Structure 1
Amino acid sequence: MKITKLTKGISLKRQLESGNEEQLKVVRQVLADVRAQGDTAIRFYTEKWDGFAPENLRVTQEEIEEGANAIDQQLYADLTEAAQNIRHYHEQQKRSGYRLELANGSWLGQRITALDAVGLYVPGGIAAYPSSVLMNVIPAQVAGVKRIVISSPAGRDGKLPPGVLAAARILGVEEIYKVGGAQAIAGLAYGTETISPVDKITGPGNIFVALAKREVFGEVSIDMIAGPSEIAVLADDTAFADEVAADLLSQAEHDQLACAILVTTSEQLAKKVADEVEKQLTTLPRQEIARASIENFGAIYVAEKMADAIEAVNSLAPEHLEIVTKNAEAVAEQIRHAGGIFIGRYSSEPVGDYFAGTNHILPTNSTARFASGLNVDDFVKKSSIVFYSEKTWAENAPKIARLARMEGLEGHARAVESRGWEKE
C-alpha cells in the first residue's frame, strides 16, 4: 500500500454509482421490458445473465426448508442469535406519533404508519449474504411492515444459497423470488403476473441494481444508491499492525472497487501495516479481488497530529470507520461523518457486519455526510394531522386569508373564509 504524508483533506468520492451510458441503456431496456412483458421478460433476462430459466419465480416452502436444513446446526444457531441482537438494537429505534393540545379544543399531531409492502434485495453472484437478509428484514418487521418480499439471484442450479434461505426461515419470511439484477428491481417496482408491486425497495447490489433503483425512484421509494464497500481505520501507535491490516483486507475482499484506507499518526505503524497487508494477501482466498482493491483504492496517510487525522476522516465520511487509538471513545466524539463507527481494538468491523446488532447497510461514497444507515425509520411514513375547532378557526382565519392573498392565492383565502355561518 502506498504511504502518503497527510497534507490536506482526502476524499473517497468516486463516480461509481453513475455507471456508463451502455450500462444505463441496458438497465432502461430491462425495466421497459419487464414493465411491458412481466414474467416473460424476467425469465428471459434471468436465463441470459444467471444461466437458468426459472419455471417458477417464487421459491417454494419446500425449497426454503431444504435450504435451511442444509446448513450446519451451529451456523443456524449463530444466525438465530445474530437476528436476536439485531432485533434488540432496532427495537430501540421505534417511535410513536404525538398529539399537541392547543387552546379551545384544537390539536395538532403526527401519525407514524408502517409501509404496506417492501421489497428487500439480497445480493448474490460473487458471494452469498445471509447477513443482508437479517439487516434488511428485521428493521422492516420492527417498523410493522405487513408484507415483506425478498428477491435474490439464484445459482445456475436455480437455487438460492442455503444460508439465505435459513435466514429467511428464522425471520418467518415466505415470499421469496429467485430473481436478481435489474429485472428484480423492475419486478418489485412495477409488478408482474407473479410478483405484486411494493412501496419501497432496499438493499445493496451491483451497478445494474444500483442504476435500476435510481431509475424506479419516484415509482417506489428506495433506501440509497449503495456503492462498493469502504473502510477507514484511524489509528495511533497503540494499534497492532497485523490487526489493522486484517481489518483493511476484510473490506478489500468484498469487491475490486472496494476502498480501504488507514489514517495514522504513527509512521512506524504505517510501514508495518503496509508490510502486513502484503503478507496477509498471499494467504487470502479472495486474494485477486482484495489485491485489485488495495492497489486501486487502498492508501495509508500519515498525519502529524491526531486533530489532522480526525479532520481527514471527517472529510472522507467513510462507510465504516474503526478507531484504534488512545482514548478511542473521546476521539469518536469528534467524528461528524461516518456510516458506522467501531471503537477500540475489539470492535473490528465484521462484528457489526454480522452479530453486534447494528445495521451493515450503510451510506457509501462519502454520502455519510448527509445519509444514515438502514433503520426502522426507513420503513415508516409520517402523516401530519390538524384539528381546528370553530373558535380557533375564527381567531386565525383572517390571518390565514391575508397570508394566502399575499401569495396571490385567492382560492386559498376563500376556502378559509367560506366557513363560519349557518348553511341552508
Structure 2
Amino acid sequence: MHSWRSPDVPTLPGEGPVPRLFNQATGLVEPTSVGADDRAGLYVCGITPYDATHLGHASTYLAFDTLNRLWLDGGYTLNYAQNVTDIDDPLLERAAATGVDWRDLAASQTDLFRGDMEALRVIPPQNYIAVTEVIDEIAAAAAELLELGFAYRVPTPDALQPGDEDVYFDSGAADRATSWYLGFESRYDRALMLDLFAQRGGDPDRPGKRDPLDPLLWRVARAGEPQWAAPIGAGRPGWHLECTVIALQHLGTDFAVQGGGSDLIFPHHEFSAAHATALTGKPFAGIHAHTGMVAYEGEKMSKSLGNLVLVSRLTAAGVDARLIRLALLAHHYRSDWEYTDDDLSRASARLAAWSALPVADVDSGAPEAARVAADADSSALLERLRARLADDLDTPGALDELDAWFATADTVPPLVLEALDALLGIRLAT
C-alpha cells in the first residue's frame, strides 16, 4: 500500500546528536540506538481507518516525525514502518452503523489520513502496510506460536465451521519461557491491566481462557463476518499480532523505537512485544515510547466519545496546516493536555512574529565581520535547537529558543529558515 508524498527536508551543516527518548519499559530517558548500517528502525502504530485524523492522532505522528527529522539530521537512514488496521471490530461496527461497506470505509479514511499527513509535512513510512495485505503472514505466526507452545485453542460454539476454535496467546507460558513478562513494558499492576484490558478490546471473561489477560491471536470465522482461509481455520487476525508481524518483517528484531499513543501501552504494545519475543527469542524494540493524550471539552479526544477536532476540517475551514503543527509542537509529546482554540491563536501569533522579518540577503555586500557574526549566531541557534530536541523531543523548549532569537533579530539568515524546516517541519514563506 502506498503512503504519501514526502516533504523536502533540507540538509543542515554538521550532524545533530543522537536523540534520547523516555523508555516506558525502564522509566529512563535513553539514547536511541541504530543498527551497524546506520539505519534507524521505527515502528509506529497506525490508524484504524473509520474516522481519521483527529488532533490526538496528529500529535502522535508529529512527535515521531520529529524523531525521524533528528535521525536524518544525525546522518542516519530511516527505516520506518507503520500499519493500517483495516480489519477490526471498531471498523466493522462503524461500517454496519453507517451502511457503508467496511472496505470502502477503510479506503476512504486511509486516503483522508494520507492527505492530512501530507498537509502537515510528516515524513512518510518507507513501509506502510495494511493488515489485509499480511493476513497469511499473521495466520502463519499464530500457527507458529501454537507449535511453540505459546498459544492454545479455546472452544468456540458460534464458529461458522463446527469444531473451529479461536486461538489465544498463552501469557503464562511466555512469562515462564522467555524474557518477556506481564508488566514488562507497561510496569502496571495486575488490577490496572485487567481494567484496561476490558476497556481496550480485551475479553477477560471469555470462558476457556487460561488467564483473563490472554489476548486473541486468531478469530475463527463467524456468520456475517469477513474471513480469510488459513490452515488454522478460516477467520481473521486478533489485534496485537498484526503489529508484531509487520514490524518483524520490515524492521527485524530489536529495532530502535516502538511508538504510539499512551493508550496503547497496555494491552496493545505489551502484547505486540510479547508475541515478538515468543516468536524470535529476542527483544522487540530498544525503546518503547508513547505520546500523551489530547483532550477536548473535558474528555480525552476519541472516536468513541465523538469529541473530535479533525485536521481535515480545520484545513477545509482555511486553517494553515503550519498553525496546526505549531499548536501541537508547543506541547511536550509525553504530556496530557486539553486543546482549545487558544492553541491555534498562539500558534498564529508565533508564526506571524517569525514571518515578519525579512530574509537576509547573503549577497548584499555586507561587511565580512557582520556576515561572520551572523553566521556564528545562526550556527549557535542551530546547536541549541538540536540540543533541545535531542533531549526527549523538547519541542516546546525549541520553540522558546526560536521566539527568543526572533525577538532580537533584524533579518532571518537562510540557515535559520533551513533549521526551522528540517528540524520542526515549518517552512516560512519567503
What TM-score comes out, normalization by structure 2 length? Answer: 0.22
Q: Which has the larger radius of gyration?
A: 1
